[in-house]
Amino acid sequence: MKIALDPYMLRDVPLLELPRLVADLGYQYIEMSPRDDFLPFFLHPRIDDDGVDAFKRELAAAQVQISSVLPLYRWSGPDEDARQAAVRYWKRAIEITVDLGVDVMNSEFNGRPSHPGESEAQFWRSLEELLPIFEREGVRLVLEPHPDDFVEDGIAGVNLVRGINSDLVSFLYCAPHTFHQGGDLAAVMRYAGPLLTQVHIADSFDHRGSSGLRYIVNPPGSTARVHQHLDIGQGEVDWDLFFSTLAEVGFDGIATVCVFAWEERAQDSARYNLSQVNQYLKRIGG
């Protein structure tokens, strides 16, 4: 298993200084999530070939590897111009990933829950163009359902990934989204089986608690989705069940710490969660 850090809370650290800091925090792997000087949210990548080469040198010097690259683009949105732009951004992001020597990318479906059928049609349209590129480059694609996406339920997300019918496409289980995926993390992981190749680790509260009144969002009837990315133990994810189920299904993929709630103590949070992951793995014999 590769234990990686999503360095989003460290995005103010210059890109070329990031590998050394991640190593100092105790991690050997980075999941490269969106940042303005690399792959911004929903925009064309910003890094050039010289920047890629310089970043590779710093990664090697720090003895840190990139476990996966995480772009977020509107490739399933109902707007066709936006979809075509997203496909262009994906193509450049794949180039960058290959140049970095990385063979895994992970992302979301990124459609709209208010237009599920149209979003899925757009998703397949984009995938028909991009999947041959992933296959040609030997890059694996790992997808997750997300709150406020056209697929939010965990079982439905596994079914969509399975329907892609490609050995290069697999499923990511995101622990802080547990309560938007149906609430039964073990059932989703077991259902995914060998398709489960990546997990995201952070805690969250069950927004469904107190008859749905745990979080009151105004105006009444708002479609906002509420969840957190907290330190392990600060929410209601069942971590004993999470790690024991990983062991049960023989998980040996990428486990990324992706806590976003504590920028004022980002480094302490990264160290704490790594220690918690290692304790759970030791407890279950992983």
Task: Please write the tens of the pLDDT for every residue from 111-157.
Answer: 898 889 999 999 999 999 999 999 999 999 999 999 988 999 999 99
Task: Please write the tens of the pLDDT for every residue from 213-252.
Answer: 777 777 877 787 778 899 999 999 999 999 999 999 999 9
The mean pLDDT value for 168-182 works out to 95
β-strands 140-144, 2-5: how paired? Answer: unpaired
* Distance from the Cα of residue 261 to its chain's centroid: 16
The mean pLDDT value for 203-211 works out to 83
The burial class, CB within 10 Å (0-12 / 13-18 / 19+), for 196 is buried
Task: Please write the tens of the pLDDT for every residue from 20-71.
Answer: 999 999 999 999 999 999 999 999 999 999 999 999 999 999 999 999 999 9
Task: Output the pTM of the full model.
Answer: 0.95
Domains and CATH numbers, the chain: 2-284 (3.20.20.150)
pLDDT for position 219: 80
pLDDT for position 83: 97
pLDDT for position 180: 85
Share of the chain above pLDDT 90, in %: 86
Q: What is the mean pLDDT of the chain?
A: 95
pLDDT for position 189: 98
Contact between 198 and 2 (Cβ < 8 Å): no
Say how many C-beta atoms besides its own lie within 10 A of residue 106's C-beta: 25
Task: Please write the tens of the pLDDT for every residue from 77-120.
Answer: 889 999 999 999 999 999 999 999 999 999 999 989 888 999 99
The mean pLDDT value for 278-284 works out to 94
Which residue is associated with the tokens 């990686």? 4
CA distance 8 to 260: 7
pLDDT for position 286: 58
Residue type, 39: L
CA distance 28 to 19: 9
Say how many C-beta atoms besides its own lie within 10 A of residue 104's C-beta: 22
Beta bridge pairs of residue 30 = 5, 66
